[in-house]
Structure 1
Amino acid sequence: MKNIYLIGIGPGNKDYLTIQAIETIKKVDVFLLLEKGERKDTDLLGLRKEILENHLKPGAYRVVTKRMPVRKRGRPAYHEEVAKWRGEVADTIGEFIENDLRDGQNGGILVWGDPALYDGHLEMLRELSRKIRFSYEAVPGISSIQVLAARHKIPLNRISEPILITTARHLKEYDPAEIKNMIVVLDSHASFKNIDDDDIDIYWGGYLGSEDEILLSGRLKDIKEEIKKAIMEAKRRKGWIMDSYILRRRMNE
């Protein structure tokens, strides 16, 4: 039977690759690299290829690169559009399994961060396994939010405190007064800019774990303009940014 490994590779630093991820990479015969055709692909595709070159001998593996279907953004039917796009990506992976893997071979997909956190590959493979015959496994990776907390030298939660993890798209749905300890991912548009609250701190990070890493923190009301400028400058320089941040209400002294 053909097998697929979803391998979490962390947010971009080669040192964040786990021993399990390295050992799994060595088991893979053919890797599927999906590219979006965007400017950041040059950087992100290069990082994935560098990981393979660092841990595998030339000729010990094969790489298949396919263009990832483009999701149309800004449409009101968000869930329907994402479901449609995921179906198209799953079809692309299905073509790889059927055409580029022989029976008994292992295929590998390198996933940023951790495959279980805001990544659709596990759901896509589950649906795909109902259509074609193959097995799959997930290898956990270090997530960007773990790196964010470590780099700011703070825990993800305080004593007896829950954590809410959400996307920037949903941030506007929350009353700022309700924010206690919120982790926001998939932003890049400074969605925190409309929050006006004297008692919220922000711990922000861009390009976490990479040579271009940017870290800023402080009272949100005082530092949000500086973070906005940092995001704009980073986009101007590189053409893209991946960032995440923690919004945390100050404890009563």
Structure 2
Amino acid sequence: MIRLSLIGIGTGNPEHLTLQAIRTIGAADLLLIPEKGAGKKDLADLRRMMLDTLVPAPHPMIAPLTLPVRDPAIRNYHARVEAWHDAIAALWERTIRNALPSGNGHVALMIWGDPSLYDSSLRIAARLAAHLPLQVEVVPGITSIQALCAAHAIPMNTLGGPVTITTGRQLRDHGWPPGAQTLVVMLDGNCAFQMLDPAGLHIAWTAFAGMPQEISLAGPLGSTGPQIISARAAARADHGWIMDIYRLTRSGSALA
């Protein structure tokens, strides 16, 4: 039986690791670390730094992963992502079988943020379970939403109001969701807030939340949106990658 631990490690600050996360990493036989691709080296280096500075020795064996990329020839978005997940699951399986040929052991992945929120690791693990005897466990971590709210010292919700968590793709294709009071927008590579009527909207945006290069801007969408677009482009040029998130609210909403 393979025990697979998906461990939320927060958004870049080593102090985001919980005691449970540190203990589970230290107990693993094998640690899978993605190391190639846009932004992967920085994130791999941070994972290794967390391992070296926070996890008592002896450390687990490390298996670096060169993740496949999505096939641009597959035009349908969901089909493209499903095929990508299949390829990643196959890579995990090969790596685990090579490192643990007995078919027994404890494998860990350090998941950016938390596995519950716009992360593919649980879906990929479900594919893996079809080919390996697998027990999956999740160690929760600080999410990018929590880090965003902390960066701006703001609550997520309006007073007694709901929060809609969505993606840039959904906002671009469908606009403001009917009845929504507060939006938290993730995975927005093209600043989809540009598609909205800015009147009465307030934005709180953070890139690299929790990391030393964290950038935060907030204000009316009409005036702050162009600043975010400029700052985002500059940061992406400097680092070669970017992870960001933002909250949108309508002016006059009571926050609590």
TM over 0.5: yes
Indicate the residue corresponding to 1:187 in structure 2: 188
Contact persistence 2:175–2:195 (CA under 8 A): no
- Structure 1 Cα separation of the partners of residues 177 and 49 of structure 2: 45
Q: Matches of 2:229 and 2:222 in 1, distance apart? A: 12
What TM-score do the two structures reach when normalised by structure 2? 0.92
Match in the other structure for 1:42:
41
- Look up the equivalent residue of 2:85 and give its one-letter code: R
How far did residue 128 of structure 1 move? 1.6
Counterpart CA distance in 2 for 1:22 and 1:60 is 11
Q: What percentage of residue pairs aligned between the two structures are identical?
A: 35
Is residue 2:140 matched to residue 1:123? no
Please state if 1:33 is matched with 2:43.
Answer: no
How far off its partner does 1:156 sit?
Answer: 0.9
1:48-127 equivalence runs, <5 A: 48-57=47-56, 59-73=58-72, 76-101=75-100, 102-127=102-127
Output the amino acid matched with 1:41: K
Residue type of the alignment partner of 2:133: R
Check 1:174–1:247 CA distance in 2 against 1; reply closer, same or farther (3 A cut): farther
Contact 1:36-1:70 within 8 A present in 2 as well:
no
C-alpha contact 2:206 2:246 (8 A) present in aligned 1: yes
The question of whether the paired residues in 2 share the 8 Å contact of 1:13 and 1:209 is answered with yes
Q: What runs of 5+ residues in structure 1 fail to find an aligned partner?
A: none
Equivalent residue for 1:202?
203
Matches within 5 A, 1:229-244: 229-244=230-245
Judge which range, 69-78 or 134-143, deviates more. Answer: 69-78
Q: Which amino acid aligns with 1:72?
A: D
- CA gap 1:74/1:185 in 2 versus in 1, 3 angstroms: farther
1:15-58 deviation line (CA, Å, top 9, x unaligned) = 111111111111111101123422x2221110011111113355
- Give SS of 1:22's match: helix
Q: C-alpha distance in 1, partners of 2:87/2:207?
A: 29
Structure 1 residues 70-79 or 132-141, which shifts more? 70-79
Q: For the residues of structure 2 that align with 1:75 and 1:216, how far apart are their CA atoms?
A: 36
Contact 1:3/1:134, CA 8 A, preserved across alignment: yes
Asked whether the 8 Å contact 1:29–1:105 carries over to 2, the reply is yes
Match of 1:217 in 2: 218
The C-alpha deviation readout for 1:183-212, integer Å capped at 9, x for no partner, is 000113222122222111000000000000
Give 2:149's aligned residue.
149
**Alignment length (residue pairs):** 252
CA distance in 1, matches of 2:184, 2:230: 21
The 8 Å contact of residues 27 and 60 in structure 2, kept in 1 or not, is answered as: no
Are the aligned partners of 1:184 and 1:244 in contact in 2 as well (CA < 8 Å)?
yes
CA distance in 1, matches of 2:186, 2:253: 27
Q: What TM-score results when the alignment is normalised by the length of structure 1?
A: 0.93
Q: Is the 8 A contact 1:176 1:197 kept in 2?
A: no
Root mean square deviation, CA, Å: 1.8
Contact kept in structure 1, 2:97 and 2:103, CA below 8 Å:
no
Amino acid of the structure 1 residue aligned with 2:197: D
One-letter amino acid matched to 1:99: N
Amino acid at match of 1:63: I
**Which is further off, 210-219 or 144-153?**
144-153
Moved more, 46-55 or 190-199: 190-199
Report the residue type matching 2:135 in the other structure.
S
Structure 2: distance between partners of 1:50 and 1:220: 37
Kept in 1: contact 2:6–2:109 (CA 8 A): yes
Specify the code of the residue in structure 1 equivalent to 2:34: L
Shift in CA distance, 13/74, structure 1 to aligned 2, threshold 3 Å: farther
